[in-house]
């Protein structure tokens, strides 16, 4: 008998459609084969192939890292001598060679934990694949996504050494152009990228900022 809250069972059918798309997705299959925790790994790999972000031995910080696929890519590409710090509010299984922290990088406690893990090492790369908890209200969700991107930018500005790079997820919509303008004064080059691994229907893009300029 159909639920009185969903007489047409539309949600159920949507769930089946999503699951079919998910299990047949070539990126999902390849992520499983290679041991990545999610298909998002290929977004970072594509960005690296285009913008040369991942250099062996650098120091990198992954903001909002759970479930950890971007940190896995960092560990794979940066090598054993790199320093990698990952932080998220959600629990995340450990990754050999990655210092995994549970906390909020927008708080003093979270920032202190990251700085302690870095131990004074200058940062070469800051990445963030963070998405807000979606409410389904486009205006509110877009505002939350821009706020997260701004928080990641504040972190990058305060901790990247000159020449360092910054990657952050953004969504097409109100506030994106203003955010890009806020990034440009602090980096030599700023690009807006949409990797092929991002689903066509997704509004997600990535701001890739290369070459942190000396602090003002």
Residues 29 and 101 in one domain: no
Q: Are 207 and 171 in contact (CB under 8 A)?
A: no
CATH number of the domain to which 145 belongs: 3.40.50.150
Give, for 179, the enclosing helix (H) or strand (E). helix 176-183
Q: Is 83 noted as a catalytic residue in this protein?
A: no
pLDDT level of residue 7 (50, 70, 90 thresholds) = very low
Statement to judge: residues 94 and 57 lie in one domain:
yes
The kind and range of the H/E element at 78 are helix 69-78
Question: pLDDT exceeding 90 applies to what percent of the chain?
Answer: 77
Residues 127 and 85 placed together within one structural domain of the fold: yes
81-133: pLDDT as tens digits: 999 999 999 999 999 999 999 999 999 999 999 999 999 999 999 999 998 87
* Phi, psi of 106, rounded to the nearest 5 degrees: -85, -5
Per the structure, the count of domains in the chain is 2
Quick check: 109 and 100 in contact, CB under 8 A? no
Instruction: Give which of 34, 14, 20, 47 is closest to 197, Cα–Cα.
Output: 47
Q: Which residue has the higher pLDDT, 203 or 104?
A: 104
Rounded distance between C-alpha atoms, residue 193 and residue 167, angstroms: 10
24 and 72 both lie in a single domain: no
Compute φ and ψ for 123, nearest 5 degrees.
-95, 135
pLDDT at 4: 38
- Structural domain of 1: 1-34
Query: How confident is the model over 1-23, as a mean pLDDT?
Result: 42
How high is the pLDDT of residue 122?
A: 95
Candidate list 10, 16, 43, 169, residue with the active-site label: 169
Residues 19 and 80 in one domain: no
Judge if 17 and 43 occupy the same domain.
Answer: no
Q: Average pLDDT in the 197-205 region?
A: 86
Residues 46 and 27 in one domain: no
Angle made by CA atoms 125, 207, 157, in degrees to the nearest 5: 45
Q: Please tell me whether residues 23 and 43 are part of one structural domain.
A: no
With a pLDDT cut of 70, the percent of the chain lying above it is 88
What's the whole-number mean pLDDT along residues 195-214?
A: 92
25 plus 67 within the same structural domain: no
Are residue 28 and residue 76 in the same domain, yes or no? no
Residue bearing the bigger pLDDT, 46 or 136: 46
pLDDT, mean over the chain? 89
Cis peptide before 170 (omega within 30 of 0): no
The per-residue pLDDT for 16 is: 52
Dihedral sign from CA coordinates of 58, 185, 216, 146: negative
Q: What is the pLDDT of residues 9-19, one digit of tens each?
A: 333 344 554 34
> For residues 59-95, b (16+ Cβ closer than 10 Å) or e, as one string?
bbbbbbbbbbbbbbbbbbbbeeebbbbbbbeeebeeb
CA-atom Rg of the chain in angstroms: 18
Q: Which is more confidently placed, 22 or 38?
A: 38
């Amino acid at each position: 008998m159909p639920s009185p809250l969903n007489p047409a069972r539309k949600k159920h059918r949507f769930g089946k459609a999503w699951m079919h798309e998910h299990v047949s997705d070539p990126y999902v299959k390849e992520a499983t084969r290679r041991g990545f925790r999610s298909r998002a790994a290929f977004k970072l790999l594509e960005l690296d192939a285009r913008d040369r972000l991942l250099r062996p031995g650098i120091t990198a910080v992954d903001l909002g890292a759970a479930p950890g696929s971007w940190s896995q890519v960092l560990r794979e590409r940066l090598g054993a001598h790199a320093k990698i710090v990952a932080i998220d509010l959600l629990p995340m299984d450990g990754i050999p060679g990655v210092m995994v922290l549970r906390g909020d990088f927008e708080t003093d406690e979270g920032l202190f934990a990251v700085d302690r893990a870095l131990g004074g090492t200058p940062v070469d790369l800051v990445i963030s694949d963070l998405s807000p908890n979606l409410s389904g209200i486009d205006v509110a969700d877009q505002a939350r996504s821009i706020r997260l991107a701004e928080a990641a930018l504040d972190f990058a500005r305060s901790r990247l050494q000159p020449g360092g790079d910054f990657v952050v997820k953004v969504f097409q919509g109100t506030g994106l152009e203003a955010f890009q303008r806020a990034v440009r004064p602090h980096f030599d080059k700023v690009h807006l990228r949409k990797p092929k691994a991002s689903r066509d229907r997704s509004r997600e893009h990535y701001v890739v900022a290369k070459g942190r300029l000396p602090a003002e």
